[in-house]
Amino acid sequence: MTKTKLVSLKEIEGAISPHQAQLDRAMKVRLPALEFVNDVSALALFIGGKVESLNLKEDWGLSKEVFPGVSIFFIYNQAGRRVPRHLRVLFSGERLSILSGEDLAGNAISCVNHMLRFIRESNKDKKLPEVCYRI
Q: Where are the domains of the chain?
A: 9-134
Question: Is the confidence at residue 65, as pLDDT, over 60?
Answer: yes
d(CA 105, CA 102): 5
What is the distance between the alpha carbons of residues 70 and 93, in angstroms, rounded to a whole number?
A: 5
Q: What is the pLDDT at residue 3?
A: 62
pLDDT given for residue 60 in this prediction: 95
Distance CA 43, CA 61 (A): 11
Which of 7-11, 52-56, 64-68 has the lowest average pLDDT?
Answer: 52-56
Q: What mean pLDDT do residues 104-113 have?
A: 96
12 pLDDT exceeds 70?
A: yes
Q: 63-87: string of b/e by CB count within 10 Å (b at 16+)?
A: bbebeeebbbbbbbbeeeeeeeebb
**Per-chain mean pLDDT for the chain:** 91
- Stretch 72-85: mean pLDDT, rounded? 84
Q: How long a stretch of residues is the chain?
A: 135
CB atoms within 10 A of CB 47: 20
